[in-house]
A = this chain, B = another copy of it.
Amino acid sequence: MACPRPENVGILAVEMYFPTSYVSQEELEVHDGVSKGKYTIGLGQDKLGFCTDCEDVISMSLTVVKSLMEKYGVSPNSIGRLEVGSETVIDKSKSIKTNLMELFEESGNGDVEGVDSTNACYGGTAALFNCINWVESTGWDGRFGLVVAADVAVYAEGPARPTGGAGAVAMLIGPNAPFVMERSYTSSQMSHAYDFYKPVLASEYPVVDGKLSTTCYLKALDLCYRRFCDKYSKKEGQPFSLADIDYVVCHSPYNKLVQKSFARLVYNDYLQSPNLVGEEVAAKLEPFAHLSHDDSLVNRDLEKLAQQVAKPQYDEKVGPTTLLPKVVGNMYCAALYGGLVTLIHNKAESLVGKRLVFFSYGSGLASSMFSFRVRAVESPFSLSAIAEALDITSKLESRIEVTPEKFGKAMHLGETRYGANDYIPTSSIKELRAGTFYLTKVDDKYRRFYSRKPSVESSPAMNGVKIGRIRSEDIRHRLSVFLCARFDVGENGMPAEYPKGGWECGSEGGSYSVPESNGSRWTKEEAELRCRKGDRNGPVIVSGRKQLLSVRVSATGNGDITDSKPPAAHHSHESMCMDKYRLGRTTARWSERVITGIKSRGEMPSTTSAGGMIDRLQMIFVVTRTEEEGTRTKTEPRLSQKPPKPTLAYPVVVVAPHAMWPIAATILTFSQPNVAKHGPSHISELSLL
């Protein structure tokens, strides 16, 4: 028997990336020698974001997936499906999804369904539907889905070039979501058209019939809207019109088309019933009441008038969705969801209770209209938390304007790079934001290699120790660093020795070294300081969230030692680290409980509370040191330093990117006294909210 379907399935969280480099459309107009306003008013576009040769659709996808998982404390093991919608083809066979699996490698979780969905700008929507269907199917195993919509939109020199852009959006999918898809109203229009396509395989540029594409888009919009209204009224027993919609998000190849689209919806409402648009508007539209559908699509007078009468509603229902598509440009599959991100950025919590209607269009053609109801849910998936995590303002502020000449050069370089092998990107990664993935090399076999710009930034001193922001992928490394440092600490509190050239630490996947002078990571000195000062007895926090911390923890300290078992197949890397260092039984149990908590997200009851300020705490690792020599692990083949005998137990704190400082401070505040006075062996009960 199939278990019942989960409820309120939809989008739990969103993350977005767009390149830091952009060119101004106004500057482009001057550079291209076109009439003023051609791009800014004619297309309705302000800026155009673009990738240099060290970024591509894969790097952008890696960035949003990693970033989303970090910000929301989602472990790779808790993802059961990951899929990508894109029309940016770097490889005709290997999916982008498989590149993203690199992020799962360490966790051992390869049981992640989903591949890439393709049809022009529609792929992301196909992936979204697929992922939501998966959660509602008997195939769902309770884990999260993750959808990526990502594209690089570039055009040959000429009138279409200003309609380029680039970006990626990742969406976390599951039940009890703030954005609940009203799946049964979804309506589609799919047909065969050659309006925009990419048959010239060696070129990144599409073949475009701009006029046909606009007509195809608007015709598909009409059909989808009519079908949507039909499905709604059939199911709900009442007619559907724009009055039932709070916000409309349309696929935005350029903003002008979104303006035209909304005007079409008003015209459609009028055709459905003049009452729906009000007397005044109805009177104005009356002369166009009897046009054939095809004629209505190309009638310039109607187009103009409809936009004019639709303007007040457009400002209210569409305006708050247009910022990113206007200042980043067409992001193909990501464009529509850039509209969603803009709306969250602008409206945040006030979206609760609203209905959002989306129109997704991909040339060729595939299109759908679908809707979300917005619910109030608790942090981290509350609207305000999502808006905060998206951090659009600082993303936009960190962008760098380049000249049209430099943009042209980047496009030209891209032409030589597309489909090429055996090269190293020449563009600087200096402009990339912290935490951004980038292409480091394409080898002679066309294999692509990526790295990530460190996300560690200097941060306020806390408890006498400067703590950096840490990438969650560093958690294991950092933990290893700590352990390593611990081994090396002499009686005077100074490191006794460490590998030449940096810190080298063993872990499941191999050994990791922390270079001596990498500004983006802790230096040796910083780590030493950490050992000498507060950190020795200070807790280390891993980013997280309220509901996962509903565990009551007893740390009984040294002497509480068990033999470590080999890590289970899907053990999280954290617990593997634990095993490796033979932690105390209580600690291991605690760790396991926390990990179980993560796995069964949201199912643990909230129990005790020691303060109201901590809402992003996920895990505390208590690393036990003991004086018993015999408790050292003997199966540590890859550890370059033999671990010295542990002597003390102390909590280790790792702070992940979105564990805000006040939170960390709070923890220190209430846990520090015990730890400082008695050492961790005396913490008999550590209750956390």
Closest 7 CB pairs of A and B: A199-B446, A94-B364, A92-B198, A95-B119, A115-B119, A133-B137, A93-B198
A137-B281 Cα distance, complex, nearest whole Å: 40
Shortest C-beta distance, A165 to chain B (Å), equals 15
| Cα A453 to Cα B133 with chains together (Å) | 38
Asked if A144 lies at the interface with its beta carbon under 8 angstroms from chain B, I say no
Q: Which residues of B contact A110 (CB under 8 A)?
A: 188-191, 223
CB distance from A548 to the nearest CB of B (A): 24
Given the known inter-chain contacts A119-B116, A188-B112, A223-B110, please indicate yes or no for A199 contacting B419, CB distance below 8 A.
Answer: yes
Q: Which of A200-208, A346-354, A607-615, A669-677 contacts B (4 or more CB under 8 A)?
A: A200-208
- Residues of chain B within 8 A of A119, CB atoms compared: 93-95, 97-98, 115-116
Q: Chain B residues near A99 (CB, 8 Å)?
A: 192
Interface residues of A in 134-193 (CB under 8 A from B): 134, 136-139, 141, 183-184, 186-193
Nearest Cβ in chain B — how far from A447, in angstroms? 5
Q: Which stretch of A121-129, A250-258, A308-316, A576-584 is in the interface?
A: A121-129
Q: How far is the CB of A57 from chain B (nearest CB, A)?
A: 12
Chain A interface residue count: which class? 35 or more
Known: A93-B198, A101-B191. 16 other contacts (CB 8 A): A87-B93, A93-B206, A94-B199, A98-B191, A98-B366, A101-B190, A105-B192, A110-B191, A110-B223, A113-B129, A113-B188, A113-B190, A130-B133, A133-B133, A136-B136, A197-B446
A102: CB under 8 A from chain B? yes
CB distance from A484 to the nearest CB of B (A): 27
Tell me the bound Cα distance from A189 to B97 in angstroms: 12
Interface membership of chain A positions 1-36, coded 1 if the CB is closer than 8 angstroms to chain B and 0 otherwise: 010010101000000000000000000000000000
A390: B residues at CB distance < 8 A: none
Specify the chain B residue showing the minimal Cβ separation from A130: B130
What 0/1 pattern do residues 238 to 270 of A give for CB contact below 8 A with B?
Answer: 000000000000000000000000000000000
Residues of B within 8 A of A631 (CB): none
Q: Which of A443-501 contact B (CB under 8 A)?
A: 445-447
Does the CB pair A138–B188 fall under 8 Å?
Answer: no
Which residues of chain B are near A134, meaning CB under 8 Å? 129-130, 133
Q: Is A59 in the interface zone, CB < 8 Å from B? A: no
Judge whether A90 is part of the interface by a CB distance below 8 angstroms: yes
Cβ contacts under 8 Å, A138 to chain B: 5, 9, 136, 183-184
Flag if A187 contacts B111 (CB, 8 Å): yes
Complex alpha-carbon distance, A303 and B194, angstroms:
51
Most buried by B among A118, A119, A134, A445: A118
Contact B366 A189, beta carbon cutoff 8 Å? no
Nearest chain B CB to A200's CB is how many angstroms away?
A: 7
CA distance A110 to B446 in the complex (A): 39
Q: Does A288 contact B (CB under 8 A)?
A: no
Query: In the assembled complex, how far is the CB of residue A96 from the closest CB belonging to chain B, in whole angstroms?
Result: 9
Q: Output the nearest chain B residue to A82 by Cβ-Cβ distance.
A: B190
Contact A91 B197 (CB under 8 A): yes
> Can you pick out 24 interface pairs between chain A and chain B where the beta carbons lie within 8 Å of each other?
A2-B7, A87-B93, A91-B197, A92-B198, A93-B206, A93-B363, A93-B364, A94-B120, A95-B366, A98-B365, A101-B192, A102-B192, A111-B227, A113-B190, A115-B117, A115-B118, A115-B123, A132-B137, A132-B139, A136-B137, A137-B183, A141-B184, A201-B418, A202-B202
Complex: how many Å from CA A365 to CA B119?
21
A661 contacts the other chain (Cβ, under 8 Å)? no
Question: Cα distance A569–B227 when bound, in Å?
Answer: 10
| Bound-state Cα–Cα, A447 to B212, Å | 14
Q: Is A368 part of the binding interface, using a Cβ–Cβ cutoff of 8 Å?
A: yes
Identify A191's interface contact among B105, B363, B418, CB under 8 A. B105
Q: Which of A316-368 contact B (CB under 8 A)?
A: 362-366, 368
Asked if A91 contacts B199 (CB within 8 A), the reply is yes
A396 → chain B closest CB, angstroms:
29
How far apart are the CA atoms of A445 and B195 in the complex, in Å? 11
Q: Which residue, of A91, A99, A101, has the highest number of chain B Cβ atoms within 10 A?
A: A91
A501-536 vs B, CB cutoff 8 Å, 1 = contact: the mask equals 000000000000000000000000000000000000
Question: What CA separation (Å) do A366 and B102 show in the bound complex?
Answer: 13
A95 touches B115 (CB 8 A): no
Nearest Cβ on chain B to A218's Cβ, whole angstroms: 14
Contact call A196/B5, Cβ cutoff below 8 A: no
Check A215 for interface membership: any CB of B closer than 8 A: no
CB distance from A187 to the nearest CB of B (A): 6
Q: Which of A92, A94, A98, A115 has the most CB of B within 10 A?
A: A94
With A110-B223, A117-B116, A189-B110 already in contact, the answer to whether A93 and B421 are too (CB < 8 A) is no
